[in-house]
Structure 1
Amino acid sequence: MFDIYKLKVWFNWPSIRPHICTVAVALSFNSTWRVPRDAFRYGGVAYALVFSAIMLLIALPTALLQLAIGQLSQQDAVGVWNAVPFFRGVGYLRLLISFVASIYTVAYVAIVATYFFYSLNNSIPFWSCPESLIIQEINDTYVYNVSICENRTVLPPLQEQPEYYMAMAFITLLLWVLFPIVLYSPVKLMKKALYGATPLVLILGMVIVTCIGVKEHLSLIYDAADWLHFVEPKIWHSSIIQALWSTQIAGGYLISAGDSIYSCTDVQWSTAIFVGVNILASWCGLILWYGVGGDGRRDTSIFAVIAQTFKMVEEKELKASWPPVIFAFLFLSGIITVFTQLYPLYDRFKRVGGYKWRYLAVGSSAAGAGAALAALGVGPPVLTVLDDAVVPLLVSTTTVLEICPFIFIYGWRLLIEDIEFLVGRGLTKYWMWSWCAVICIILPFTVWWLIVLTLEGHWMEPPWVASGMAAAIGAALVILVIFAVVAVARQVQYDVIGKLKSSFRPSRHWGPRDPITHYYWLARREDPDRVQPRTRYHRRQLGQFSGNSSFLNISHNPRSNNEKLADIKRRSNSDDWLYTYRKQYIAEKYQEYKLGRKRSKSLDWALISNLKHKNNGYSKQFNVESSHVTSMESVISMPESINRAKHI
């Protein structure tokens, strides 16, 4: 018979909220901006297949690693390196990636917002702009270049039309003021913002694809010539970087979310859902932009989706109401992206800054706003080198540096045992081999891509790709060396060799912050019998001992439910269990040794004997059989005897 109560337990609100955040993250710029842009560059089906394979081979095991260490240690991207303090700089590289990515993402959002507001009164010449986009005709198809149209609209030289730059500057400053306010309480306010933005993005996306999408245009998603890109490193490296961005591995979002959003979820199922939803969202974003786009070749610049909007307005002769809808869709998606990028940074500020973390937040916002304004002032070359060269190199390098210490220094066996402690069941060695495969896949493709891009790039000409990558490598090395030296210097050993060795071992701060969880975690490690995984530890919540996640979920038949819960009830996580177990153990030992062990002539025996001689009347009440009482019983009964003696 269908049980309504079980349905409520399965689909209760606390278990749904983390997955709503998962859907929100999947609807970010990664699926609405970056995936379509890369598909325009390397071919729709070809890129989508490579991207999906990379998501399963690289993103899935790496996401499990980050989510597990974040949920276990209850730390941020830097705090998890208490496991291997020497590589603490890798955590700061994650924060640097998040900050740099948020700079050009805010610039994108400001451009989209400017298009949105100017399109409300038709001040941007959408209908005449595509005429200037036609730069040449190849095989009866037109090639579009969005930079020409941007120079006529919101990205002209600063000295020609400063009003557009002032509008973007105002929006940029407003966004950088808004984000610290929302992330002041990131777990509450950010999740509420994600809850509100998710349905809006879904509704706008469905309206766009159903109303102005053309089914016949989906045939352009496949082209036999696209398979030639497989012999180039760019499609492989771009798929790797996009997979790491889509699953939020690049900026360390999953590590911080493991202590907040996904703190009470199963890390294996959460990882599988997270990766699966992002694959589905990326395919949907690809279908959306191919369906609404026009015929002919597509732009391959960083503003490819904006170029598609220009083409769509011109070729389909759309009404003036459609451009604001499209830009609103992109704006909300961009807001979600910036939240996920800045969340690890502000989480770190709150953990280390104390009550002064607000000053750190304000300072970072001021620096981010200044960098975004400078990037908008210079124009697309700076945004291109950051988005296509500097950040991808940092992401791939940091991912390899993150996996290697945890697998080869901390130990893959301990890592698997930690995940088993979280999920309450055994893991296969497949995950260990998958983590090793991640390194073997990322490293050669990154080196191949780096060599080709360096040879093709120009050091002193825009967009300065080679110079940007050299600066990124130098900055990464400086950060790694500085924090490695600091980690070695903080060790308590007296010699340098001892300090260096100690920096490669987990510190005393590694592990769950909750003391009870830490106790069970250490007890499991010290247990010699580790064949069977221990019962999964659940973080204490309201109503967990009654079987309900909230006082609102009270059963209508408490008697029957209590009987069911009594059969499957696990041991308590509180200190009362230790007291109760010890008391029961003493009682069992007392019953075991009571009949076979004689009374010892201890100090309490001498005391009671003296009381007998002093009080002859009371001594008659003692039985000769008391000589067979254990010492523990005498200790328990001694205070009562003394009190009686005092009254007599």
Structure 2
Amino acid sequence: MGREKWHSHVDYMLTILGYSVGVGGMWKFPYMCMRNGGGAFLFLFLVFSVIGAIPCVFLEMVIGQYGQSGPVRVWNLCPPFKGIGLGNVLISMFFSTYYPVLFAWFFFYLYFSFSAQIPWAHCGNSWNTPSCISQSDVNVGMPGNATNATLTASIVPGALHNASSGFNGTGNWTATVSGMTAAEEFWRFRVLDISDGLQYLGDIRWPIFGCLVITYVLLFLFLFQGIKVSGKVVYVTVGIPYILITVFLIRGSLLPGSADGIYYFLYPKFDKLLEPKIWVEACNYALYSLGISWGCLITLASHNKFNNNCFRDVLIIVAADVVTAVYVGFAFFAIMGHVAHLRGVAVDAFQSSGFNLGFIVYPEAVASLPLPQLWSALTFITLLFLGIDSQVPCFEITITALVEQFPRLEKTGCLPHILVLLPSLVMGLLYMCRGGIYVLTLVDWFAFFPSMLVFAMLECFVVSWCYGTNRLEKDISMMWGKTVPKAMIISLKYICPILFLGIFSYSLYSYRPPKYGDYVYPDWATGIGWVISFASLVPLPVIFILTVYGTEGKTLREKIKKALEPNKHWGPSTFGTEDCSGEALEAMM
């Protein structure tokens, strides 16, 4: 029986686009722009998308489509390096344990978006503290006799300020207040009921866990139906977010101060280019945004028809990913420019990272808009749809690897899905505790560092030097009858490995321990983080040694040389003849 195929090529392209954009595009990209000088980061992101992401996406699409295999079996092209595929699966598994938790939080916020008064816009709720700062406190009006005054209200999520106010002698009215905003108190005390640290996990937040169970039920329904159904779902889960982002962009652009936000987004602070950190983060995000080294691109491409043109696909996907990131940036910074205008602060005052941006700054921003319930609901509906697009392919990677390793599971109906989803749901209980956000931050911090760069570098090296670019070009010619530009081969063989090695080396050199707000992780927690980080790398030496040891040969050199050759399981062995051109069939005879 042949491998299941996409019903149409559009299904495949939309699935990859939805996977690459995801929730990260809604908060990770704006945050990266904020902390790295706006247009300066945008410029480097574009550069690395061309010289780093395009070759790697092309490579993963080609080997997945030619091998018609998932992320582990595809490395039959060079068996000692099957550890790359297993490492990809482990990265996706780490990601899949905590990403549904974000989905559950989105559900929780969506529920409260339909309240008569949005609870994170005002104080006076049961969870608020006496020092809570409401939306009206943040957008405080001018004193009656200060006709030419301008307000400076330094209210930044997570920051505490001394309470003082008055004229500063220049006609400007300054106001600083002490405490957390209502949005942050909702996040910390109502959603998380956060404990004092990782060592105090506390009770399970059962309302959030209920949202998590709903999330897994939806995931099961999407996954169990296979790609022919999930490939149709993306028409909704990808299409609706684009519509809603367009609505945000139009509405935001009509508000006062939006131009300042967009200017900050586009104007490059060239002095930032002198900082190595911005180069590292731009390269990392270019790889992260397209899911390189996660095994997803390989898995999705393995369901293509054999004669599909991957080179055309990669140009479309990378271009769409970049354009979408820029489009989201315009919408986000237009609204943040308006919020900054209301508060009398600069746009870069909102440099909240990751989860704070998603669950504090976004809610605060929509609470500042007219009809906040509407904008809040639209925001979290958008995030929910984007979350579906990212979660389904990640679980599909693990399910595919499991079925390929144990083929009998394919005939057991939903059993493979249960074997993958149920342990992830049980793991979710850890994140549902009052100290779960500390666990989640730790896993998120170390799950991709430094393994993502290592696998990207190894993929380029193994395919270009061990498998060989000559073989690769013949495979490409067999599939769609054309060759690719020499620049692509040069990039895979020289530019990408050297680039990733440099970025990887500096990442280790500039490493800093994780933090959540002001909480600094103890040494033992950082040690656990490094175990998570290197867990996906452990299969590399283990599988290499075992494979070489089990290969026939009199000397170690003979064993290694023979082991590096593609084995009998490598190649297009499961597609039907209708997928191949006449030239391809003739070449295989």
Shorter-chain TM-score bucket reads 0.7 to 0.9
Confirm or deny: 8 A CA contact 1:457 1:466 kept in the other structure.
no
Confirm or deny: 8 A CA contact 2:451 2:537 kept in the other structure.
no
Confirm or deny: 8 A CA contact 1:70 1:76 kept in the other structure.
yes
Question: What is the match of residue 495 of structure 2?
Answer: 437
Q: Find the aligned partners of 1:276 and 1:86 in 2 and give their Cα distance.
A: 34
SS, match of residue 326 in structure 1: helix
Offset, 1:222:
4.3
Mean Cα deviation higher: 196-205 or 312-321: 312-321
SS, match of residue 510 in structure 2: helix
Q: Find the aligned partners of 1:246 and 1:490 in 2 and give their Cα distance.
A: 38
Q: Quick one: structure 1 residues 494 and 44, their matched pair in 2 at CA, closer, same or farther if it must change by over 3 Å?
A: same
Within a 5 Å distance, the mapping from 1:180-259 to structure 2 comes to 180-214=220-254, 216-223=257-264, 226-259=269-302
Could you state the TM-score of these two structures normalised by the residue count of structure 1? 0.71
Query: Is 1:369–2:425 an aligned residue pair?
Result: yes
Once the two structures are superposed, residues 368-397 of structure 1 have per-residue CA deviations (whole angstroms, 9 ceiling, x without a partner) of: 122233124223333333333432422111
Percent identity for Structure 1 against Structure 2: 20
Of the three residues 310, 316, 320, the one matched with 1:273 is 316
Of the three residues 204, 212, 216, the one matched with 1:172 is 212
Question: What is the match of residue 150 of structure 1?
Answer: 187
Give the letter aligned to residue 302 of structure 1: G
SS, match of residue 453 in structure 1: coil
Confirm or deny: 8 A CA contact 1:109 1:334 kept in the other structure.
yes
Q: Quick one: structure 1 residues 284 and 263, their matched pair in 2 at CA, closer, same or farther if it must change by over 3 Å?
A: farther
Once the two structures are superposed, residues 483-513 of structure 1 have per-residue CA deviations (whole angstroms, 9 ceiling, x without a partner) of: 2234235435577664443221111111111
Confirm or deny: 8 A CA contact 2:409 2:416 kept in the other structure.
yes
Larger helix fraction of residues: 1
Mean Cα deviation higher: 74-83 or 501-510: 501-510
Mean Cα deviation higher: 151-160 or 303-312: 151-160
Of the three residues 419, 422, 447, the one matched with 2:505 is 447
Q: Find the aligned partners of 2:395 and 2:61 in 1 and give their Cα distance.
A: 17
Q: What RMSD over aligned residues (CA atoms) do the two structures have, in Å?
A: 3.5
SS, match of residue 155 in structure 2: strand
Aligned length: 514
Offset, 1:139:
7.1
Offset, 1:60:
0.2
Question: What is the match of residue 11 of structure 2?
Answer: 17
Mean Cα deviation higher: 437-446 or 210-219: 210-219
Q: Find the aligned partners of 1:232 and 1:468 in 2 and give their Cα distance.
A: 30
Question: What is the match of residue 506 of structure 1?
Answer: 566
Offset, 1:268:
0.7
Mean Cα deviation higher: 371-380 or 286-295: 371-380
Q: Quick one: structure 1 residues 345 and 289, their matched pair in 2 at CA, closer, same or farther if it must change by over 3 Å?
A: same
Question: What is the match of residue 612 of structure 1?
Answer: none
Q: Quick one: structure 1 residues 203 and 78, their matched pair in 2 at CA, closer, same or farther if it must change by over 3 Å?
A: same
Question: What is the match of residue 349 of structure 1?
Answer: 402
Question: What is the match of residue 62 of structure 1?
Answer: 56
Once the two structures are superposed, residues 150-195 of structure 1 have per-residue CA deviations (whole angstroms, 9 ceiling, x without a partner) of: 1133111379999992121112223234323422343212212212
Of the three residues 426, 433, 438, the one matched with 1:381 is 438
Q: Find the aligned partners of 1:321 and 1:163 in 2 and give their Cα distance.
A: 33
Confirm or deny: 8 A CA contact 2:367 2:376 kept in the other structure.
no
Once the two structures are superposed, residues 384-433 of structure 1 have per-residue CA deviations (whole angstroms, 9 ceiling, x without a partner) of: 33333432422111111221111111112222222232231233431222
Confirm or deny: 8 A CA contact 1:71 1:263 kept in the other structure.
yes
Q: Quick one: structure 1 residues 414 and 394, their matched pair in 2 at CA, closer, same or farther if it must change by over 3 Å?
A: same
SS, match of residue 368 in structure 2: helix
Q: Find the aligned partners of 1:198 and 1:399 in 2 and give their Cα distance.
A: 27
Q: Quick one: structure 1 residues 370 and 222, their matched pair in 2 at CA, closer, same or farther if it must change by over 3 Å?
A: farther
Confirm or deny: 8 A CA contact 1:396 1:446 kept in the other structure.
yes
Offset, 1:360:
4.3
Of the three residues 417, 441, 445, the one matched with 2:474 is 417
Confirm or deny: 8 A CA contact 2:93 2:395 kept in the other structure.
yes
Offset, 1:337:
0.9
Confirm or deny: 8 A CA contact 1:86 1:483 kept in the other structure.
yes
Question: What is the match of residue 170 of structure 2?
Answer: none
Question: What is the match of residue 376 of structure 2?
Answer: 323
Confirm or deny: 8 A CA contact 1:132 1:149 kept in the other structure.
no
Question: What is the match of residue 637 of structure 1?
Answer: none
Question: What is the match of residue 536 of structure 2?
Answer: 476
Within a 5 Å distance, the mapping from 1:66-145 to structure 2 comes to 66-122=60-116, 125-128=119-122, 131=133, 141-145=154-158
SS, match of residue 191 in structure 2: coil
Q: Quick one: structure 1 residues 63 and 515, their matched pair in 2 at CA, closer, same or farther if it must change by over 3 Å?
A: closer
Question: What is the match of residue 300 of structure 1?
Answer: 352
**Structure showing greater Rg:** 1
Give the letter aligned to residue 241 of structure 1: N
SS, match of residue 372 in structure 2: coil
Task: Note the residue ranges of structure 1 that are not aligned, 5 or more in a row.
Answer: 1-12, 518-537, 541-569, 579-648
Could you state the TM-score of these two structures normalised by the residue count of structure 2? 0.78
